[in-house]
């Protein structure tokens, strides 16, 4: 496992845990929280909204845009409802993460700190910092962000295959996804820490709880309800492989990504449910293909850990400078869906209105950004980061690196022919008409 502060403690001293939710906003398949619950007498559940989410980054973009933020808050609201049924509430704070953690951990006699391992570069550094600054606090780290545990991988991360196909082959010949752990139904007694009231964030969006077709509702229950409809009500998983590239149809791909990204849904749980579908409905190429796509998610999850900060660099992991630059006017026209390429503009407007874009759409707008518009790919990735409900550091920056030709794509140039793609994916012009008005 990754990190551990092993602390010798007198067994009569009461123990107190702080669990920090990040991209794991759920009570099912909660490896780290389940383990923490077995080790402490008292528990605080924490979520932090970092001030930096609302301040323009080095690309001049606010990292968390309105749609993404609202989806996240709805997810926390839903988590808080579940927590209250277990006698807890989520302490939701707003401020600077390091300061808030230091303040909580230094003045509230916590003996344990629980957190789910996450492959993001910053996420790993956050946990390392807590471990370094608080050597007397036991770090309880659990893995459930990925399908596999790091120790089970058939390679060390430093030598993991750079290219997807050999990665997939090695994985498939050696291991199977981990089973999800049981949903938490009881928690240790709640502990309310001392914290400056200025830092408290009041949850009050009172979002809809009904997951209706065509909308993304935040939270674990909505995620389970959608997965259940997709698999057992609509029974469309059997044709996923043929339909997954559609631009704008709710049932043609799983639409699980926003829940996977916030952690309201565990990928291990998805695999378990797909297996049930295979046993009870049908097992075919399409059901395998859902696993295949989740292996792409897995691949980027581990690859980002191999390459660290290179994940965000202009020359990427190939150390090859792209022949592109940043033009603010061109960038804004792309963001606003005003490039003059109808299929690209339609996809970009769909993103602006809904916070979602299909995988095919993402490939087309990214290819256009880099090849036709000759823009610095990092600005495109930063815009996606701000807009996508399903933003995930590994999948977003990994796919952008790939399409910009500075990632791990063995093919030199992956430029999409926009005209041809329009003929294939929008043959009657309905998608463009819908979004271009
Ligand atoms: C430029 C670009 C940026 C992207 N940014 C993100 C992002 O920030 N977050 C994100 O979750 N996905 C991202 N993707 C991957 C993919 O587009 C989305 O996961 C997918 O469109 C989500 O819709 P779905 O759940 O219906 O996917 P489905 O087709 O139903 O796939 C099932 C699941 O497999 C995984 N998956 C599928 N394709 C990919 C892929 N290419 N890479 C990684 N995982 C994949 C996702 O978890 C997805 O939910 C990006 C792709 C591109 C080309």
pLDDT at residue 1 tops 90? no
Per-residue confidence band for 8, with pLDDT thresholds at 50, 70 and 90? low
- What spacing in Å lies between the alpha carbon of 123 and ligand 1's midpoint? 20
Q: Using N-to-C axis directions, what is the helix angle for 393-403 and 377-387, rounded to 10°?
A: 150
Judge if the beta carbon of residue 300 lies within 6 A of ligand 1: yes
What pLDDT score was predicted for residue 204?
75
Number of other CB atoms surrounding residue 308 within 10 Å: 13
Q: What is the pLDDT of residues 200-226, one digit of tens each?
A: 999 877 767 777 788 899 999 999 999
pLDDT interval class at 10 (50, 70, 90): low
Where do the structural domains in the chain lie, given as residue ranges? 1-145, 220-307, 313-436
- 45: tokens are 């559940």
Residue 2: pLDDT band (50, 70, 90) is very low
Is 313-436 in CATH node 3.40.50.620?
A: no
Q: Take residue 173 and report the two structure tokens written for it.
A: 């010949």
Contact by Cβ (8 Å): 182, 30: no
DSSP state of 317: T
ipTM comes to: 0.99
Q: Mean pLDDT lowest for which of 9-13, 58-62, 157-161?
A: 9-13
Q: Which atom of ligand 1 is nearest to 357's Cα?
A: 21
Cβ(244) – ligand 1 distance below 6 Å: yes
Q: What is the pLDDT of residues 240-272, one digit of tens each?
A: 999 999 999 999 999 999 999 999 999 999 999
CA 299 to centroid of chain Cα atoms: 14
Report whether pLDDT(11) > 70.
no
CATH T-level assignment (fold) for domain 1-145: Rossmann fold (3.40.50)
Q: Whose CA is nearest to atom 24 of ligand 1?
A: 255
Q: Hey, what CATH topology would domain 220-307 get?
A: 1.25.40
The verdict on the CB of residue 256 being under 6 Å from ligand 1 is yes
Instruction: Compute, in angstroms, the gap from residue 307 CA to the centroid of ligand 1.
Output: 20
Given the CA of residue 362, which atom of ligand 1 is nearest to it? 53
Q: Do domains 220-307 and 313-436 have the same CATH topology?
A: no
């Amino acid at each position: 496992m990754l990190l551990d502060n092993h602390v010798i403690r007198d067994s009569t001293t009461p123990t107190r845990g702080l669990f920090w939710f990040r991209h794991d906003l759920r009570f099912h398949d909660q490896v780290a929280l389940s383990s923490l619950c077995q080790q402490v007498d008292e528990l605080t559940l924490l979520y932090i909204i970092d001030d930096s989410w609302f301040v323009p980054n080095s690309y001049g973009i606010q990292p968390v845009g309105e749609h993404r933020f609202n989806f996240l808050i709805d997810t926390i609201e839903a988590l808080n409802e579940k927590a209250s049924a277990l006698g807890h509430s989520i302490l939701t704070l707003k401020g600077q993460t390091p300061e808030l953690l230091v303040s909580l951990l230094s003045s509230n006699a916590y003996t344990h700190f629980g957190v789910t391992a996450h492959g993001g570069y910053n996420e790993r550094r956050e946990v390392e910092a807590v471990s370094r600054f608080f050597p007397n606090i036991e770090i309880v780290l659990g893995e459930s962000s990925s399908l596999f545990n790091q120790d089970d991988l058939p390679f060390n991360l430093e030598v993991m295959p750079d290219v997807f196909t050999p990665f997939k082959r090695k994985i498939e010949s050696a291991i199977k996804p981990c089973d999800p752990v049981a949903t938490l139904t009881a928690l240790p007694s709640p502990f309310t820490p001392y914290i400056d009231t200025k830092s408290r964030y009041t949850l009050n969006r009172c979002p809809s709880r009904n997951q209706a077709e065509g909308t993304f509702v935040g939270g674990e229950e909505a995620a389970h309800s959608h997965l259940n409809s997709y698999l057992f009500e609509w029974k469309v998983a059997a044709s996923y492989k043929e339909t997954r590239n559609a631009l704008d149809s709710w049932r043609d791909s799983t639409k699980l990504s926003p829940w996977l990204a916030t952690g309201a849904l565990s990928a291990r749980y998805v695999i378990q449910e797909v297996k049930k579908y295979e046993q009870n409905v049908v097992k075919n190429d399409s059901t395998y293909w859902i696993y295949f796509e989740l292996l792409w998610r897995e691949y980027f999850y581990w690859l980002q850990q191999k390459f660290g900060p290179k994940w965000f660099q202009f020359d990427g992991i190939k150390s090859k400078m792209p022949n592109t630059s940043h033009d603010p006017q061109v960038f804004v026209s792309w963001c606003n869906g005003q490039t003059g390429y109808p299929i690209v503009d339609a996809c970009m407007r769909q993103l602006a209105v809904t916070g979602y874009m299909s995988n095919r759409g993402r490939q087309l707008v990214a290819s256009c950004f880099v090849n036709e518009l000759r823009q610095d790919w990092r600005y495109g990735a930063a815009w996606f980061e701000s807009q996508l409900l399903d933003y995930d550091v590994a999948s977003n920056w990994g796919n952008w690196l790939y399409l910009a030709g500075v990632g791990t794509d063995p093919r030199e140039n992956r430029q999409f022919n926009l005209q041809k793609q329009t003929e294939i994916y929008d043959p009657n012009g309905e998608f463009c008409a819908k979004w271009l008005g």
